[in-house]
Structure 1
């Protein structure tokens, strides 16, 4: 079967892929999303959205729906995993919101994805198709051809690869391998009534220690409590699942503060998430094909920016599609010219921040804690580059 509708084709129906479809449709293009799963949905637990991401969600008209299911934390807090001493805090109140234009929120990942998908389903320019495992992308005089696992072909006037960390479409541009950090994560949400009264419902808390951390915050308007346990495995084995096990997690966190040890009893142990990224690359585009989100710039989770950067991609891509119309190659080239340095900086900074919070050397820990202690909760200079990025949300793009 050959489907020759002249649409923009998005490969991947996750957060980045659906946002890319909204971007394409905003610029007036009929758009088709090809998703490999049998139905649209997200796995995982909580997700953090900085004001840079909220700007994009607002641009696409989704801020009100997001607000219905989001939690608006008052602070981001770092705590010592052994002593519970507060090492640093960032105030997310009125001054933060006024400076960056939008609030910092936390919500369930599936809620965010559902709202994006519902917006796509309501858009007459967007169609969504499931059970599409894409094996090949190629461009010829007919357009960009996408071939699925059954040999069926879709021919689009342009294609965007948004198929995540393990992207197959990335190989059309660059043949590299994902890099394992030797860290694993275990996630889970639990009903609020199961959580100790010691939990602070107003904060996003990151408990940090050598080669490990725990993140906690409420989601779904405070109905659930999200927890993510992360640690470096000393038993890493390539091409194996026999490392970073729940048993190793228990050993690694032995001796931590009682609140942390108690938190581990609520963690879901069935799904283990090895943590990977890739090195930044200097090109995402070939002809009328480009990459977006984790397919373009997969990053470690330590800055909570994976989903945020995918949304930024979609917003700037929309701007360039408005400017260049049917000239997709030029739109894609201008899109990546802006986004390549920005996302590379976030990728590298996420790695660096991971090294800082997981420091082992006592001197490094002392230096880190001393410097953090000097930072005021309303001192925003260190995060301006991340949350103050301006090329995000404007539909008012000059076409001259």
Structure 2
């Protein structure tokens, strides 16, 4: 039985993660009546820390959420890359200077805090939030699109935004593909900072130790009260096709021979859960009729560029801006939203940028995990980089992901460097 009664929403968003909530918020801000479905009984996020670069914090600023996010997170001073074997510094980014260059800060925040930020904002704007609803099917209708849930319910609206993640059901409307197993696995821990105070850690920086077939990340969370660690390594079991791969015994073996800083951090990792790392090959088509993919449903990346959640937030912002733009172009006598135009414009902007993120993340993973002579060559190359060389960050941290080159004036409100840095 349908939940639609003739006075239903303009848009359905399927998925209540960061991507779905941020998309619902963006559309609601653009005047769209939104209903969001989440399969879990309650809203929440698992995991630990998350990095959000200036290409995301500029959107939080646009939404009026940056001040709250800053209070919940940490704006570190530097991003430092070190060799995991001897802990020698290889290169760094001055994040204060990065802030000045792009106009917005680089921030680290607990995933659940960012999720909660968007959830509260959606509630304030009247987004209808429905839990315990697992979507199992999508189809186009004469006037929009319909979704079907596992319990037999259906709902429909003028458009459906599928933010249903790595294993997206909606993606099957567009491509018959499978997830790509990187054979790498991540362990995490978000712990009280007191537990690492005697470890001589850099509490004001994001530090990445890159090693042969592994890397280790450390940074502060929640105003410095918590400390986040991520240990990533290639699983020999995965390479052999074993089902039970990424287990704690592999974690310990992967980091044998690494520096003291990593050895002090490893015992603090959560060992009752781990995250196997998958992505998908890029696709150029995200829209099927009135069903559009968003976030990991469209472009799940490996984590090396810390852009997964950021890209999802960008997706929602861009889609909402095209809703605004086409509304402004319509006559005063014409009501409603021309979703075909809005979705076509969204699809024209986002896929190429996200393809580049996915493929670059794979390349960065290979670069970080080199061994032997290639590791030494990489280290020499990174040491030769000037701290203030932004050749490799402008394309990702600038606003280029938000508009195609042929439409430079479409988004005038938050151009590069338009807002003074926040002290």
Q: What's the TM-score once normalised by structure 1's chain length?
A: 0.95
The counterpart of 1:61, out of the listed 56, 59, 64, is: 64
For 2:330, the equivalent position in structure 1 comes to: none
The counterpart of 1:335, out of the listed 346, 349, 371, is: 346
Moved more, 320-329 or 64-73: 320-329
- Counterpart-to-counterpart distance in 1, 2:400 and 2:181: 32
For 1:192, the equivalent position in structure 2 comes to: 193
Q: Is residue 25 of structure 2 the alignment partner of residue 15 of structure 1?
A: no
- Counterpart-to-counterpart distance in 2, 1:390 and 1:175: 30
Paired residues in the alignment total 394
Aligned to 2:392, the other structure's residue is in SS state helix
User: Does the CA contact (< 8 Å) of 1:319 and 1:395 recur in 2?
Assistant: no
The counterpart of 2:100, out of the listed 89, 98, 101, is: 98
For 1:166, the equivalent position in structure 2 comes to: 167
> Offset of 1:266 from its aligned partner?
0.3
User: Does the CA contact (< 8 Å) of 1:142 and 1:155 recur in 2?
Assistant: no
- Counterpart-to-counterpart distance in 2, 1:289 and 1:34: 15
Q: Is residue 361 of structure 2 the alignment partner of residue 359 of structure 1?
A: no
- Counterpart-to-counterpart distance in 1, 2:385 and 2:367: 15
Deviations 1:188-229 (A, max 9, x none): 111100104301111100111011001100000101100010
Q: Is residue 104 of structure 2 the alignment partner of residue 87 of structure 1?
A: no
> Offset of 1:26 from its aligned partner?
1.6
The counterpart of 1:372, out of the listed 382, 405, 420, is: 382
Aligned to 2:207, the other structure's residue is in SS state strand
What RMSD in Å do the two structures reach over aligned CA positions? 1.6
Aligned to 1:195, the other structure's residue is in SS state helix
> Offset of 1:324 from its aligned partner?
2.5
Deviations 1:8-42 (A, max 9, x none): 00000111101110111122110011001111111
Moved more, 176-185 or 375-384: 375-384
Aligned to 2:202, the other structure's residue is in SS state coil
User: Does the CA contact (< 8 Å) of 1:42 and 1:110 recur in 2?
Assistant: yes
Deviations 1:292-316 (A, max 9, x none): 1110000000000001111111111
For 1:122, the equivalent position in structure 2 comes to: 124
> Offset of 1:143 from its aligned partner?
2.7
Q: Is residue 303 of structure 2 the alignment partner of residue 301 of structure 1?
A: yes
> Offset of 1:365 from its aligned partner?
1.3
- Counterpart-to-counterpart distance in 2, 1:259 and 1:172: 47
- Counterpart-to-counterpart distance in 1, 2:344 and 2:174: 13
Closer, same or farther in 2 for the Cα pair 1:184/1:193, shift >3 Å?
same
Aligned to 1:344, the other structure's residue is in SS state helix
Residues 1-400 of structure 1 mapped to structure 2, 5 A cutoff: 1-4=1-4, 5-93=8-96, 95-124=97-126, 126-197=127-198, 198-236=200-238, 241-325=243-327, 326-360=337-371, 362-390=372-400, 392=402, 394=411, 396=413
Unaligned runs of 5+ residues in structure 1 are none
> Offset of 1:6 from its aligned partner?
3.9
Aligned to 1:128, the other structure's residue is in SS state strand
Closer, same or farther in 2 for the Cα pair 1:21/1:229, shift >3 Å?
same
- Counterpart-to-counterpart distance in 2, 1:262 and 1:169: 44
Runs of 4+ off more than 6 Å: none
Q: What's the TM-score once normalised by structure 2's chain length?
A: 0.90
Closer, same or farther in 2 for the Cα pair 1:217/1:174, shift >3 Å?
same
Aligned to 1:275, the other structure's residue is in SS state strand
- Counterpart-to-counterpart distance in 2, 1:213 and 1:224: 21
User: Does the CA contact (< 8 Å) of 1:56 and 1:392 recur in 2?
Assistant: no
User: Does the CA contact (< 8 Å) of 1:45 and 1:187 recur in 2?
Assistant: yes
- Counterpart-to-counterpart distance in 1, 2:325 and 2:139: 25
Deviations 1:213-252 (A, max 9, x none): 0110000010110001000011117886411110111111
> Offset of 1:170 from its aligned partner?
1.1
